[in-house]
Structure 1
């Protein structure tokens, strides 16, 4: 459907998160990613 195409085409590049320099204020991001990884497993 057109909605699916728009959603996948608009996503852009996949970033490599191991190269990020996160700080204490990014704690929410790290917790969300950790929970997402746990749910995938």
Structure 2
């Protein structure tokens, strides 16, 4: 029971961390793409 509970907590925390990292990466990539597109345009 305790092991399953710990595994569930670890799994849920890992999912939350992955989601946060994905959101941060997407926002960073989108902002960098916008900057690059503005710079590339003469």
TM-score tier (shorter)? 0.3 to 0.5
Structure with greater proportional helix content: 2
- TM-score, structure 2 as length reference: 0.40
Q: Which has the larger radius of gyration?
A: 2
